[in-house]
Chain A
């Protein structure tokens, strides 16, 4: 195990708000995104989506489309070799079922791939879609989880996963989990109170500003280049090689700037399509999803139903907790097992007790596909658990803050579930080595005015406060890893090449800060190249809150190795002990009279010592230390209309040492604004036939600036021994707590418990009526 404590070199490049490395080019609108640069001779692709939620594709007649001038090619399932795989961008061997082929012979959701058209212009490609004649055999659509579970006569997947990790061919179950610590059923019998409630979570979409977009072409050596808006370039290269039967050596995946991903791009949503069409036509091909396609055919957060059963004693001691999850993975099983695993694994340890039971049944249906989305299952679990804690407190007649304080996880505690439950296999045991949770609760309570609730701002409104606690992870323990290469140039600047994937969250910036810190140079001297599978070393990609913690470790190690090389070069020139060489402020020295600038040392290395100072290092952590959050909502509710007005939202977050405090706060506030939509109005509404009723931003509401409350964001730094400079993660944990905090505040205001989000005015109004009856 690597402990990074005290690895600080000279200067202070970490812990300060440097200018984000790509800020100026983004602000100036430079052509930095995938779709900003079109190769000559590029073709435009469009997907013919299925009009049926479940139908066999018997025949496709593309002759009319191909006759349209400008149409170059049409592909469908008969022409494409069916190699089973998963589109989930996860480490090999993926824990998601191999239930997908490039072009399926059966459409499993409305919008599923039926045919691909490429044409000289987008308009021609769109027109050609209407000229493709398809013969379908329409099958019964399973759009209800319980019906999908009950039926074995209609199967979404008739072919079993070759690795046997789902029940395809036998049932509609895509994943099951049943893990127990202690004996919950027995323990519940000994409890003073048993509280059971059911919670429902909606299907929501990440709604990144830049949609999925990919462009591929063959380079002058005939190698396939895919330039794409992705979180997982290296996984993509591996999956593409397998399903297109190419060598990894002949594929280059390039990630330019990305306009947001939130997990929705931890998935091969379209890169196989452009690659396939480039291989068929030998021409560059470009595909971009419309917003409607994003809402029907990209990935959503898994809808879930969660039954929580908690046994407590009169004094508030939690004795047993059971979480039973039924989830809808939609048409394919991307992340089916692991997202649902997180629902319990990242949530239940908040209140460690001797008896914990976690059960999951995740079902295939003919609904839109679920997948990875920031929080990765934890927002669902956190909503259920943190709503439930308030319900337990009510049953006990105990203060909800006190109940939490009495039971929450503490420094030195062992996470009771982690050893039982890893990424689709046995996990590694986890002991809490850093936590700022107590401080976060205290500071958060103070900022929201927990003990001095303000009066309503108008006589017809009711005011309420709510809170929620959350924890997450920092990468996947024992699985996630990344590598970094550093190289010194004669002007004292450094090239840092990382596989880590900056998707707007700012990882290039914090990794440059870490690199500069280790080498004692200023941040401005670092040039970062990230995520080009030809030019940068490997990294699993941007997900699981791993980049700063895991990839940052690789950067620190590589920089340290190069620093050691430089100390050697310096020591030889000046005849001093290498161990006494000091780096800092762009200078290298050994005592007061032996000193040179980094540029002088670099020039010396390259032209006198004739060696290239450079190093590559890899880093993996067997730990995944949880960041913690205490989040608080202050709402007003209009009991007659059901409207909820979020007045103030407080997040106090322990993400270890913030490398760039401003961006850490940005992660928190971005997560909160996304979660406000989850709490109050976001829902992809699918009818019984499997049709999305609101596939546009007119009807599918995400939060805008006008929906933002007064936001208070507090960083609670801690020193995590396993993280470089003491870092943990910040990207996901703050998206977990807002929904339960807001709903708990609504309940505090009007006495109505919403077990289902989003808490739309109508739902709140109905719940108030029901509570009053």
Chain B
């Protein structure tokens, strides 16, 4: 049981950070609490950030998608703004997290700030060049999601608050697909791969291959991306895709644990990358081929 000493409810973003900085002792932010209650940290107080106006999902006038850090995974899985963005890549990732009761309270901010290598939203967001907005007491900064994670369970935050995630209007038109492998339907992923391609006539523009659960932090396979980016689609034959997949497999740094071996994880990065590239090029945006066991967004 997690025995809370002090529960502070913030009314605004600035107040949340101020409450966090005030001390005494160690504090943690709480959003949905679904991660916190699994492994309750030792702390002197918690700061509730559910009432600071960060649960909004919106399109800006120039078409960017903004998702507030306190938006729930269920909202993300079902909001038309997200399901209609880049083939619904982000909403599908949210829909595959845990189960419906968890998704009702779990937030995107918690998923990212918990910073597990297996965070399910990370590969999809990395594949769409997500930018994070971070607030301090009286300043804001933004940085690419790749730079947000600094290690397993570690981020750049250092007491600051993640306010939200922005995806550029351009990436909303990318074709994308993702897959995660698990043992049972509700499981921490063994391997996650998300692929997003900008299709520009007969050419691939931007190419993104993002991986999860195969390195200390969610990562992009940039060497593999380079093999695809800017290429004529006609040149991307099965051999070329297999090469890219093999390079992606080489880029990751998986470990052995009781769930799966590093060898299997690495091989699966190759298999999934190859298949996802092919299906995205073929125009399919199916995020989970053949796996109706993974549970839907409803």
| Residues A706 and B259 in contact, CB atoms below 8 Å apart | no
Instruction: Contacts A699-B259, A701-B184 given; indicate if A707 touches B99 (C-beta within 8 A).
Output: no
Q: Which of B185, B260, B289 contacts A762 (CB 8 A)?
A: B260
- Residues of B close to A123: CB separation below 8 A: 3
| Residues B275 and A704 in contact, CB atoms below 8 Å apart | no
Whole-angstrom distance between the Cβ of B259 and the nearest chain A Cβ: 7
Q: Is A405 an interface residue (CB 8 A)?
A: no
CB 8 Å contact bits of B186-225 with A (1 = contact, 0 = none): 1110100000000000000000000000000000000000
Interface centre among A123, A699, A702, A758 (most CB of B within 10 A): A699
- Residues of A close to B294: CB separation below 8 A: 706
Residue ID in chain A nearest B187 by CB atoms? A701
Residue ID in chain B nearest A644 by CB atoms? B293
- Residues of A close to B291: CB separation below 8 A: 643, 645
- Residues of B close to A49: CB separation below 8 A: none
- Chain B 233-280 interface residues, beta-carbon cutoff 8 Å to A: 258-261, 264, 267-268, 271-272, 275
- Residues of B close to A765: CB separation below 8 A: 264, 267
Q: Which of A636, A645, A761 contacts B183 (CB 8 A)?
A: A761
| Residues B184 and A681 in contact, CB atoms below 8 Å apart | yes
| Residues B290 and A458 in contact, CB atoms below 8 Å apart | yes
| Residues B264 and A762 in contact, CB atoms below 8 Å apart | yes
Q: Is B151 an interface residue (CB 8 A)?
A: no
Q: Is A597 an interface residue (CB 8 A)?
A: no
Whole-angstrom distance between the Cβ of B51 and the nearest chain A Cβ: 29
| Residues A706 and B99 in contact, CB atoms below 8 Å apart | yes
- Chain B 82-122 interface residues, beta-carbon cutoff 8 Å to A: 99
Whole-angstrom distance between the Cβ of A746 and the nearest chain B Cβ: 15
- Residues of A close to B99: CB separation below 8 A: 704-706
Instruction: Contacts A680-B183, A704-B185, A707-B184 given; indicate if A762 touches B261 (C-beta within 8 A).
Output: yes
Q: Is A760 an interface residue (CB 8 A)?
A: yes
Complex CA gap A710/B93 in Å reads 25
- Residues of B close to A428: CB separation below 8 A: none
Instruction: Contacts A458-B290, A460-B275, A699-B258 given; indicate if A641 touches B187 (C-beta within 8 A).
Output: no
Complex CA gap A761/B261 in Å reads 11
Q: How large is the interface on A (under 10, 10 to 19, 20 to 34, 35 or more residues)?
A: 20 to 34
Whole-angstrom distance between the Cβ of B11 and the nearest chain A Cβ: 32
Whole-angstrom distance between the Cβ of B191 and the nearest chain A Cβ: 9
Complex CA gap A457/B291 in Å reads 10
Q: Is A640 an interface residue (CB 8 A)?
A: yes
Residue ID in chain A nearest B184 by CB atoms? A701
Complex CA gap A638/B293 in Å reads 13
Q: Is B227 an interface residue (CB 8 A)?
A: no
Complex CA gap A766/B1 in Å reads 41
- Residues of A close to B183: CB separation below 8 A: 680-681, 701, 758, 760-761
- Residues of B close to A699: CB separation below 8 A: 258-259
| Residues B188 and A698 in contact, CB atoms below 8 Å apart | yes
Interface centre among B183, B264, B291 (most CB of A within 10 A): B183
Q: Is B295 an interface residue (CB 8 A)?
A: yes
- Chain A 686-728 interface residues, beta-carbon cutoff 8 Å to B: 693-694, 698-699, 701-707
Complex CA gap A698/B291 in Å reads 21
- Residues of B close to A698: CB separation below 8 A: 38, 188
Q: Which of B3, B181, B261, B293 contacts A706 (CB 8 A)?
A: B293
| Residues A641 and B268 in contact, CB atoms below 8 Å apart | yes
| Residues B181 and A640 in contact, CB atoms below 8 Å apart | no
Q: Which of A636, A705, A766 contacts B290 (CB 8 A)?
A: A636
- Chain B 156-188 interface residues, beta-carbon cutoff 8 Å to A: 181, 183-188
Complex CA gap A458/B264 in Å reads 23
Whole-angstrom distance between the Cβ of A407 and the nearest chain B Cβ: 35
| Residues B289 and A458 in contact, CB atoms below 8 Å apart | yes
Q: Is A461 an interface residue (CB 8 A)?
A: yes
- Residues of B close to A761: CB separation below 8 A: 181, 183, 190, 260, 264
Residue ID in chain A nearest B270 by CB atoms? A640
- B interface: dominant SS: loop
Instruction: Contacts A457-B290, A765-B264 given; indicate if A640 touches B184 (C-beta within 8 A).
Output: no
Instruction: Contacts A123-B3, A685-B258, A762-B260 given; indicate if A638 touches B185 (C-beta within 8 A).
Output: no
Complex CA gap A641/B99 in Å reads 23
Residue ID in chain A nearest B179 by CB atoms? A641
Whole-angstrom distance between the Cβ of A122 and the nearest chain B Cβ: 8
| Residues A707 and B185 in contact, CB atoms below 8 Å apart | yes
Q: Which of A458, A461, A640, A766 contacts B271 (CB 8 A)?
A: A640
Whole-angstrom distance between the Cβ of A403 and the nearest chain B Cβ: 31
Q: Which of A693, A706, A707 contacts B258 (CB 8 A)?
A: A693
Instruction: Contacts A706-B99, A762-B260 given; indicate if A643 touches B185 (C-beta within 8 A).
Output: no
Q: Is A677 an interface residue (CB 8 A)?
A: yes
CB 8 Å contact bits of B22-58 with A (1 = contact, 0 = none): 0000000000000000100000000000000000000
Interface centre among A677, A705, A706 (most CB of B within 10 A): A706
Complex CA gap A706/B185 in Å reads 6
Whole-angstrom distance between the Cβ of A58 and the nearest chain B Cβ: 33
Complex CA gap A383/B271 in Å reads 31
Complex CA gap A460/B293 in Å reads 16
Whole-angstrom distance between the Cβ of B96 and the nearest chain A Cβ: 10
| Residues A677 and B184 in contact, CB atoms below 8 Å apart | yes
- Residues of A close to B259: CB separation below 8 A: 699
| Residues A460 and B290 in contact, CB atoms below 8 Å apart | yes
Complex CA gap A705/B184 in Å reads 10
Whole-angstrom distance between the Cβ of A202 and the nearest chain B Cβ: 12
- Residues of B close to A646: CB separation below 8 A: 293
Complex CA gap A702/B183 in Å reads 10
Complex CA gap A447/B183 in Å reads 27
Interface centre among A461, A641, A645, A705 (most CB of B within 10 A): A641
Interface centre among A458, A694, A702, A707 (most CB of B within 10 A): A707
- Residues of A close to B187: CB separation below 8 A: 681, 701
Whole-angstrom distance between the Cβ of A45 and the nearest chain B Cβ: 16
Residue ID in chain B nearest A637 by CB atoms? B290
| Residues B293 and A641 in contact, CB atoms below 8 Å apart | no
Complex CA gap A693/B259 in Å reads 10
| Residues A641 and B271 in contact, CB atoms below 8 Å apart | yes
Complex CA gap A641/B264 in Å reads 9
Complex CA gap A645/B295 in Å reads 12
Residue ID in chain B nearest A758 by CB atoms? B183
- Residues of A close to B186: CB separation below 8 A: 701, 704, 706-707
Complex CA gap A613/B221 in Å reads 82
Whole-angstrom distance between the Cβ of B278 and the nearest chain A Cβ: 10
- Chain A 628-662 interface residues, beta-carbon cutoff 8 Å to B: 636, 638, 640-641, 643, 645-646
- Residues of A close to B1: CB separation below 8 A: 122
Whole-angstrom distance between the Cβ of B255 and the nearest chain A Cβ: 14
- Chain A 447-499 interface residues, beta-carbon cutoff 8 Å to B: 457-458, 460-461
- Residues of A close to B260: CB separation below 8 A: 760-762
Whole-angstrom distance between the Cβ of A705 and the nearest chain B Cβ: 8
Whole-angstrom distance between the Cβ of B176 and the nearest chain A Cβ: 19
Whole-angstrom distance between the Cβ of A738 and the nearest chain B Cβ: 15
- Residues of B close to A685: CB separation below 8 A: 258
- Residues of B close to A702: CB separation below 8 A: 184
| Residues B290 and A638 in contact, CB atoms below 8 Å apart | yes
- Residues of B close to A677: CB separation below 8 A: 184
Complex CA gap A693/B1 in Å reads 22
Q: Which residues of B contact A (CB under 8 A)?
A: 1, 3, 38, 99, 181, 183-188, 190, 258-261, 264, 267-268, 271-272, 275, 289-295
Between A and B, 14 residue pairs with Cβ closer than 8 Å are: A122-B1, A458-B290, A460-B275, A638-B290, A680-B183, A681-B184, A701-B183, A704-B186, A706-B186, A706-B294, A707-B184, A707-B186, A765-B264, A765-B267
Extra 14 A-B pairs, beta carbons < 8 Å, given A123-B3, A640-B275: A458-B290, A460-B275, A460-B290, A461-B290, A641-B181, A643-B181, A681-B187, A701-B183, A703-B184, A704-B99, A705-B99, A706-B295, A762-B190, A762-B260
Q: Which residues of A contact B (CB under 8 A)?
A: 122-123, 457-458, 460-461, 636, 638, 640-641, 643, 645-646, 677, 680-681, 685, 693-694, 698-699, 701-707, 758, 760-762, 765-766
Question: Lowest 3 A-B CB distances belong to which pairs?
Answer: A706-B185, A458-B290, A701-B184
